[in-house]
Amino acid sequence: MVVDLSVNVGGLKLANPVMPASGTFAEGLAGVIAFDSLGAMVTKTITAELRGGNPTPRVAEVRNGMLNSIGIPSKGITYFLEQTLPFYRQFNSPLVVSISAPTMDAFAEAAALLDVDGIAAIEANISCPNIEEDGKAFAMNAVSTSQVVTRLRAATSKPIWAKLTPNTGDISSVARAAEEAGADALVVANTILAMSIDIESFRPTLGNIMGGMSGPAVKPILVRMTHQCAKAVRIPIIGCGGISTTEDAVEYMLAGATAVQVGTATFLRPKAMIEIIAGLSTFCARKGIGRVAELTGAVVELDMEMSASEALP
């Protein structure tokens, strides 16, 4: 059985639903996997200005996951356009460029600079500190999400993917705000704010004290958020968080994701994305599913009332 793996993410047709998560993918991986096999390529977040990133140690392991406080070291957008973009232009998979900025205006300016050939979409990493809001991430509340996405929408004709943060109390309203402001898709989501301490040295394990948690341990939390967002909006959702196997990717799609991003798993198994793409064909064929897109949102909702009354004595 030939399975159609293609999906449509807000008008952008991808050959398959699997792509890297920002910050876990770069040129070096091209030595190990074929980039043209990926549904899309997603860059590490870049900023217009030069940035150094955080102090080391920048990563620490926890059970079934990791913490990182890389920060966003960036050589700037001009460097990206001149030095990095030509590398990615060798490949046919669509290139998604992740951007960030400390203010709304700077965000819009960054997006405008990237309105060039060879870039298929802009992923707005609105999970980083917004200096106009005392360092709270834009995506921590619906109002700043709406404002920043509105500016981005006006600044570029490229599709905009808004990458949300799980570090908010109400991700559904943030998702709705992004949709209403003109986002073409949502990435759900970035890392979960976390901390760990080395009990021998009494020191935090990260130089930056706190960092973002990712890897298998975060998956159930982000599957839940993907599901909540899928219920709240009509634009496609790209699920992200702890995906390392085909089964994980299927779970996100059932929860409502149209596509998935694989992050930390690539550090442990550089071919993870390729294995997941192959696995999706095998899975769909086994289930008699002709198009992988049929998985999106196909979770069977339990009938809560009936289960509750059946549980009564």
- For residues 50 and 76, is the Cβ–Cβ distance under 8 A? yes
What is the full DSSP assignment across the chain?
A: ---B--EEETTEEESSSEEEPTTS--GGGGGTS-GGGSS-EEPPPB-SS-B--PPSP-EEEETTEEEE-----B--HHHIIIIIHHHHTTS-SPEEEEE--SSHHHHHHHHHHT-STT--EEEEETTSB-GGGTT-BGGGSHHHHHHHHHHHHHH-SS-EEEE--S-SS-HHHHHHHHHHTT-SEEEE--PEEE--EETTTTEESSTTS-EEEESGGGHHHHHHHHHHHHHH-SS-EEEESS--SHHHHHHHHHHT-SEEEE-THHHH-TTHHHHHHHHHHHHHHHHT-SBGGGGTT-PPPP-HHHHHHHH--
Looking at the Cβ atoms of 187 and 254, the one nearer to another protein is 187
Q: Rule CB under 8 A: is residue 59 a binding residue for another protein?
A: yes
Q: Determine which residue in the list 1, 11, 27, 118 makes contact with another protein, applying CB under 8 A.
A: 27
79: which residues sit within 8 A by CB, 6+ positions away?
none
Q: Rule CB under 8 A: is residue 49 a binding residue for another protein?
A: no
Q: Determine which residue in the list 12, 15, 19, 21 makes contact with ligand FMN, applying CB under 6 A.
A: 21
Burial class (CB in 10 A: 0-12, 13-18, 19+), 62: middle
Contact stretch for ligand FMN (CB under 6 A) within 101-109, 111-119, 166-174, 237-245: 237-245
Q: Rule CB under 8 A: is residue 57 a binding residue for another protein?
A: yes
Q: Determine which residue in the list 214, 226, 246, 296 makes contact with ligand FMN, applying CB under 6 A.
A: 214
Contact stretch for another protein (CB under 8 A) within 65-73, 159-167, 228-236, 241-249: 65-73
Whether 284 sits among the annotated catalytic residues: the reply is no
Q: How far is the CB of 239 from another protein (least distance, A)?
A: 21
Q: Determine which residue in the list 89, 203, 271, 286 makes contact with another protein, applying CB under 8 A.
A: 271
**What residues numbered 135-164 form the site for ligand FMN, per CB under 6 A?**
163
Q: Rule CB under 8 A: is residue 210 a binding residue for another protein?
A: no
Site string for ligand FMN, 93-132 (x = CB under 6 A): -----x--------------------------x-------
Site string for ligand FMN, 60-79 (x = CB under 6 A): --------x-x-x-------
4: which residues sit within 8 A by CB, 6+ positions away?
290, 291, 292, 293
Question: Residue 203 and residue 104: Cα distance in Å, rounded?
Answer: 36
Q: Rule CB under 8 A: is residue 266 a binding residue for another protein?
A: yes
Q: Rule CB under 8 A: is residue 83 a binding residue for another protein?
A: yes
Q: How far is the CB of 87 from another protein (least distance, A)?
A: 6
Q: Rule CB under 8 A: is residue 236 a binding residue for another protein?
A: no
Number of residues near another protein (by CB under 8 A): 34
- Contact residues for ligand FMN (CB under 6 A)? 21-24, 44-45, 68, 70, 72, 98, 125, 163, 190-191, 214-215, 218, 240-243, 262-265
Question: Which residue numbers are catalytic?
Answer: 128
- Contact residues for another protein (CB under 8 A)? 23-29, 31-32, 44, 52-53, 56-59, 61-66, 68, 70, 73, 83, 87, 215, 266-271
